[in-house]
Amino acid sequence: MAETPCSDLSKAEEILGRYPQEEPALIQVLQDVHRAYNYLPCDVLERVAEALEVPLAKVFSVSTFYKAFSLEPQGDTIVKVCTGTACHIRGAGQLVEELERQLGVGPDETTEDFKFTVKTVNCVGACAMAPLVIVGEKYFGSAKPARVSKYLAEGGADEN
Amino acid sequence: MPTLKVNGRRVIVDSDATLLDAARAAGVEVPTLCQFDGLEPWGGCRLCVVDMSQANWDDDWFKVVTACNHPVDEGMTVITDSDRIIETRRVVLDLLLARCPDTPLIQQWALEYGIEQTSYTPNPDPDDCILCGLCTRVCDHIGVSAISSINRGWGREIAPPFNQPPPDCIGCLACAEICPTDCIPFETSTVRRKIWGKEFEMLRDPKTGEAVITKEQAEHFAERSGVPMTYFETSDRSKRREMAKTFEKLQVVK
Amino acid sequence: MHMIYKVSVERCIACGKCELACAFAHGSEGRPAKTRINIHRRGPELGTPIVCFQCDDAACVAVCPTEALARNVETGAIEMVRSRCISCRMCVAACPFGNMLWDETYHCVQKCDLCGGDPRCVPFCPTGAIAWVPVEEAAIPPEPLDRESLTFETGTGV
Amino acid sequence: MRIESCDQFEALRKQSLEIEANRKQQVLVCCGTGCLASGSKEVAEAFADEIAKRSIDATVDLFVKSTGCHGFCERGPLVVLNPQGILYTKVKPGRVEEIVEKTLVGGEVIPGLLYKDPVSGERVEQYGEVPFYRHQVRVAMRNIGRIDPTDILDAIAQGAYSGVAKALFEMSPHEVIGEVATSGQRGRGGAGFNTARKWQSCKDAPGERCYVLCNGDEGDPGAFKDRSIMEGDPHSVLEGMIIGAYAVQANEGWIYVRDEYPLAVVNLTIAIREARKYGLLGENIMGSGFDFDIKISRGGGAFVCGESSALMRSLEGKTGEPRAKYVHSTDKGLFDLPTVLNNVETWAGIGAIIERGGAWFASMGTERSKGTKAFSLVGKVKNTGLIELPMGTTLRHIIYDIGGGILKDRPFKAVQTGGPSGGCVPEELLDLPVDYEELTEAGSMMGSGGMIVMDDRTCMVDVSRFFLAFLEEESCGKCTPCREGLKQMLHVYGRIIAGKGQAGDLELIEKLAAGMQLGSLCELGKSAPNPVLSTLRYFRSEYEAHISDHACPAGVCRELTAFEIVEDGCDGCHLCYKACPVDAITGVVKELHVIDHEACISCGACLDVCPTDTIRTFPKHELEKAEVV
């Protein structure tokens, strides 16, 4: 588990200012931090621990327990493949493989140019459109491996 | 004070006792791995499962519960050696043996339940940690929380933040001492102590050079207990010598 | 009858029998080093037995994080509950008199528990330097010891 | 405007109804996650533009309807035109002008945009006439698809918060619990605990405060009813929670929502803000003197947080590790204080129960399971979507009459209910009336209402392995049987699907499953063996085929399956050629295509696209035999 610091704590201070400085706010703060920095920088976690008066070990524990958090910088665009049951029986596995062929990275990995991070997610609740690929904020229902490159182009472009 | 029956033996225990306390009071041994008297029960290892029936349940209706954290109640019946309990413990030990095939404590317990070799796929890269959580719980209990469990599921492990020397650690060694499989390495001498990759200066007796605790440990406990810091600064031997001298002064001794 | 542990320093001849008795009584194969009563030897046949005071407001109890030290109301002794001890050694460091002892062999803390109300060291003391007496007798000054007459007996056992 | 009394609330409701009635025409564009993905936002914008351009007297309501509520999401975006009640599917922005021109202005129906019933082949004009919809009885989902979830007045016009008014001004907390008790409602999150009894325990528990929580951590893969309710009618959830809080006299509540449900968070946030503005939430609700406020907490992405004690730990800012429930959360829950935790669907039904009476609710359903239940019907079924039905409806009715049968009319194999904690129900039990007890007896469970239909192309060993892999990733790792057991179970399954299964493997699985069921700490571990045991119970021969014959009868397990194109069936459509990810298929259009077994990775993509069903699977070891010959 590498630790990656960031250079700018001001965003973290702004986030901390929005919550009561106590332990129950921890997960909410970490989510906002993750959104702001695209990962959880180690120095921000230290600051959060101090501000909320939660031991650093507990902050680290929470950061590694929940799937929403990453301690490594993520790609500009997150590509999520839903691997819920409906998507599984309708071929989500093939989508993951196709992404691996196209991007050269498997689930929870980031391309070398930091453009894409691939993730598998548990059921996003759009089972009626299974299988599902989400590129950035864009949902692609009834997804087919042959169209993966198109999804990447469309969703990736949206982000920038 | 509720009365219970444990394996047919009647016992009376305090109302805040657990089934484990009741079993012990009845002289019945229930195996545990994650239980420790000085800490809150946790119910993680699942070795202390027993069959329990409440007074108002049907006679033949039993529920499997962990003895370490289940409260007692008037008229309860507890059975610690039914077939399904033994079989459940066997599965738990078989699984732990697959995780830690080389750990003597687990080997012994497994053998006690008739398991010589695990039925499952042995861990290809084993260590001795059985994830009983005693180390992190004791660390929390003394108000330090320098280490914690990280990740989840099979990936769960015990680690300091970022796998770096933990800033909050006071070097008390409680985690290493409490570990039932002795899998937390540490070094300690009168000069230096090292645990979790963090080095500590020992609080040394100015005269004899002896040391039992670290400076951080003394500061933490002084603050916590209100005992003055000066209490911690000399070794027990020096203190006894001082006391002997005081006696000599107080009482007329040749 | 409330009993108390009485030490008469001027009667101690540093024979070490109490230490041995203590070590035996607590099942450590009789190694004198494992005793919970320690004689500070200050000269030939001159000793000061040092043993736990069972303090009213005890530092060891105050620092113990797991309530592993608790007073036995019957004997008045502060007893160590082995199953609760996490071996953090804080009591060892905190005791102002040096009567909490770290046992490296067993990795636990040892202290005088008054042997449950019948201190095993007492009957072995040839000079009555240590005694288990009713509380009202505690303040009676000890008889001076005739050291000359005792020299023969020491070392042979009682 | 803050409502200060019951009368003011009634006046506001009438006023909202009037506004509603005065709307001549309504264009309802479904904006649930599914339809948004197919571009419904653009469609709604196009309508707004077009209507503004023509200055037609109609309002365009951005309408959030739950994904899959009609099973049309795959053919979304959906548009409903009111007051005619016409339903159009697959509406693209390019057709908006035509719809406005022909239907809104000309009053003419465009047949090509209507829903076509897969069973009869007929086109259905009316929204309410669609068979999928006709069979349903909606209680918890009563307002989904009818209201704009971001408009509180729209919700109030449809009856939202009337239950709150009734409870606060006409009933004592005791009477509220009594009414819920009469309804017999049981928790809709899976375990089916009696709602009223839960409330009563919390009310009786000592503690300076108590809390009311809503479990919106719908983690079961294949279930999305709670998401639909939170997105489509967040007010029903708030209403239920206010009533529940009044019953147990709680002043604070939380809704714990999955992080994967961003739209639900947005709509709930708007709903809470609006409700506060109107004095329906916060201090002195409707001037009744009762204070109650709700906060939203986003989950961090952990399935186990759907478990009540883990959810409470997560709300406290900790890792989601379950605790033993020997002390109930109604006694010691959040922050060790008495706590009522109910599922989204449970809360959503409360307002209706109070308004219409417990007896009305109890008149539906079965003896032991009263009322209606929402299900997400998905998988290999023609009409996938969200349905709400009286308890006791048979699986056959759900799958064939509402679901329209199996995709491509293939044979039905099993229906998986209850998510990873549930089990697979085989064909012989299709006439099983669905309620808590019946499903449990069949080796499955109600769970959060996911129903995943499987056809003959689904391998039951693979499905069980899927659930195990899911749970292994989601296990918190606190207790030994769950953490180690799932890992070892997966090892055995890995062997079996690779054709390396050994004699005794099934017995080993069963022994381990029993140990996990009895030994695990929380329901995740205790119920983890359910998919395994139910498939072993009903489809044991399929396991045996994997182990002794090294064959996957469904043709799914890759290491055991080879593919070939049947010569006389292939019409050379070339679809398989395009679908193959590894270019293992050769052939030109209108000629027979051939699969290169060396290159083939047995992914099955060709079989899925083949329109003539001429791709055959066979055990891979037959290839080797052929080579030897």
Do A153 and A103 fall into the same domain?
A: yes
Q: Per the domain annotation, does A149 fall within a domain?
A: yes
3-class secondary-structure state, position D299: coil
Interface touch B91/D508, C-beta < 8 Å: no
Write the CB contacts of C22 (distance below 8 Å, at least 6 apart in sequence): C35, C36, C37, C112, C120, C121
Q: What is the pLDDT of residues D214-240, one digit of tens each?
A: 999 998 887 889 988 999 899 999 999
The whole-chain average pLDDT of chain A stands at 88
CB D86, CB D80: distance < 8 Å: yes
**Min CA distance, A137 vs chain B (Å)?**
27
Highest mean pLDDT: which range of A69-83, C11-25, C139-153, D538-552: D538-552
- pLDDT value of residue B254: 44
Average pLDDT over residues D415-419: 91
Interface touch D300/A94, C-beta < 8 Å: no
**pLDDT category of residue D57 using cuts at 50, 70 and 90:** low
* Closest in B203, B239, B252 to C96, CB measured: B239
Q: What is the pLDDT of residues D116-143, one digit of tens each?
A: 877 778 888 888 788 778 888 999 999 8
CA B249 to chain centre: 44
- pLDDT value of residue C155: 44
Q: Per the domain annotation, does C24 fall within a domain?
A: yes
Do C88 and C121 fall into the same domain?
A: no
Interface touch A55/B146, C-beta < 8 Å: yes
Do A153 and A94 fall into the same domain?
A: yes
Q: Per the domain annotation, does C157 fall within a domain?
A: no
Q: What is the pLDDT of residues C5-42, one digit of tens each?
A: 998 888 899 999 999 999 888 876 657 678 899 999 88
Provide the 8-state DSSP code for B48. T
Residues of C in contact with B221 (CB under 8 A): 63, 65, 90, 93-94
**Min CA distance, C89 vs chain B (Å)?**
7
- pLDDT value of residue D72: 59
C-alpha to C-alpha distance for B54 and D429, rounded to whole angstroms: 36
**pLDDT category of residue D64 using cuts at 50, 70 and 90:** very low
Do A57 and A95 fall into the same domain?
A: no
Residues of A in contact with B135 (CB under 8 A): none
Domain of C82: which CATH number?
Answer: 3.30.70.20
How far CA B238 is from CA of B172, B193, B241, in Å, comes to: 21, 21, 5
Counting CB pairs under 8 A, whether chains D and A reach 3 or more, is yes
Do A81 and A60 fall into the same domain?
A: no
CB B44, CB B156: distance < 8 Å: no
Taking one residue from B and the other from C, the number of pairs with CB-CB distance under 8 angstroms is 124
The first and second tokens of residue D401, run together, are: 């009459």
Provide the 8-state DSSP code for D406. B
Residues of B in contact with D326 (CB under 8 A): 65, 69-71
For A2, name the nearest residue in chain B, comparing CA atoms only. Answer: B162
Q: What is the pLDDT of residues C61-95, one digit of tens each?
A: 999 999 999 999 999 999 999 889 998 888 998 99
C-alpha to C-alpha distance for D23 and D63, rounded to whole angstroms: 15
Residues of B in contact with A61 (CB under 8 A): 148-150
- Tell me phi and psi for residue A40, to 5 degrees: -105, 100
For B44, name the nearest residue in chain D, comparing CA atoms only. Answer: D479
**Min CA distance, A113 vs chain D (Å)?**
24
C-alpha to C-alpha distance for D414 and C141, rounded to whole angstroms: 93
Q: Which of D345, D344, D349, D327 is nearest to D336 (CA)?
A: D327
For D526, name the nearest residue in chain B, comparing CA atoms only. Answer: B64
* ipTM for this model: 0.90
Do A108 and A154 fall into the same domain?
A: yes
Give the class (CATH, top level) of B3-81: alpha beta
**Min CA distance, C95 vs chain B (Å)?**
7
Say yes or no: A25 contacts chain D, CB-CB below 8 A: yes
C-alpha to C-alpha distance for B97 and B119, rounded to whole angstroms: 9
Please name the amino acid found at residue D248: V
Q: What is the pLDDT of residues D32-51, one digit of tens each?
A: 766 777 778 888 888 888 88
Do C36 and C71 fall into the same domain?
A: no
Interface touch A61/B144, C-beta < 8 Å: no
CA C41 to chain centre: 15
Q: Which of D524, D561, D563, D526 is nearest to D545 (CA)?
A: D561
What residues pair up with D597 in beta bridges, in sequence order?
none
Do C100 and C118 fall into the same domain?
A: no
Do A31 and A82 fall into the same domain?
A: no
The first and second tokens of residue D309, run together, are: 């004690």
Domain of A102: which CATH number?
Answer: 3.40.30.10
Question: Strand A77-82 relative to strand A116-121: parallel, antiparallel, unpaired?
Answer: parallel
**Can you give the residue ranges of every domain in chain B?**
3-81, 134-244
Tell me the domains of chain D and their CATH numbers. Answer: 25-82+86-125 (3.40.30.10), 152-362 (3.40.50.11540), 372-458 (3.10.20.600), 461-548 (1.20.1440.230), 561-628 (3.30.70.20)
The whole-chain average pLDDT of chain C stands at 85
Q: What is the pLDDT of residues B175-193, one digit of tens each?
A: 999 999 999 999 988 889 9
DSSP state string for B59-116: TT--EEEETTTPBP-TT-EEES--HHHHHHHHHHHHHHHHH-TT-HHHHHHHHHTT-S
- pLDDT value of residue D58: 56
Alpha helices in B100-235 (DSSP H): 104-112, 134-141, 174-178, 215-225
Counting CB pairs under 8 A, whether chains C and B reach 3 or more, is yes
Residues 85-144 of D with CB under 8 A from A: none
Taking one residue from B and the other from D, the number of pairs with CB-CB distance under 8 angstroms is 110
Residues 121-160 of A with CB under 8 A from B: none
Interface touch A125/D300, C-beta < 8 Å: no
Please name the amino acid found at residue D280: L
Residues of B in contact with A60 (CB under 8 A): 148, 150, 159, 161-162
Interface touch D324/B70, C-beta < 8 Å: yes
Residue ranges making up the domain that contains A43: 10-65
User: Residue B253 pLDDT > 70, yes or no?
Assistant: no
- pLDDT value of residue D551: 95
User: Residue A45 pLDDT > 80, yes or no?
Assistant: yes
Interface touch C63/B174, C-beta < 8 Å: no
Average pLDDT over residues D244-263: 94
Please name the amino acid found at residue D502: Q
Average pLDDT over residues B199-225: 89
- pLDDT value of residue B245: 87
Do A146 and A110 fall into the same domain?
A: yes
**Min CA distance, D74 vs chain A (Å)?**
5
CB B131, CB B96: distance < 8 Å: no
Do C26 and C71 fall into the same domain?
A: no
3-class secondary-structure state, position D71: coil
Q: Per the domain annotation, does C149 fall within a domain?
A: no
- C-alpha torsion D541→D546→D549→D550, nearest 10: 170
Q: How many CB atoms lie within 10 A of CB B61?
A: 8
User: Residue D59 pLDDT > 80, yes or no?
Assistant: no
Pick the residue of C7, C90, C140, C146 with the most B CBs within 10 A to test the interface with B by mutation: C90
Residue ranges making up the domain that contains C100: 52-111
Do A54 and A100 fall into the same domain?
A: no
Average pLDDT over residues D106-125: 84
- Subunits that touch chain C (at least 3 Cβ pairs < 8 angstroms)? B
- Subunits that touch chain B (at least 3 Cβ pairs < 8 angstroms)? A, C, D
The count of domains in chain C is: 2
Q: Per the domain annotation, does A4 fall within a domain?
A: no
* Closest in B39, B224, B240 to C98, CB measured: B240
- pLDDT value of residue D130: 80
Q: How many CB atoms lie within 10 A of CB A50?
A: 13
Average pLDDT over residues A50-59: 97
User: Residue B198 pLDDT > 80, yes or no?
Assistant: yes
Say yes or no: A68 contacts chain B, CB-CB below 8 A: no
The count of domains in chain A is: 2
**pLDDT category of residue D185 using cuts at 50, 70 and 90:** very high
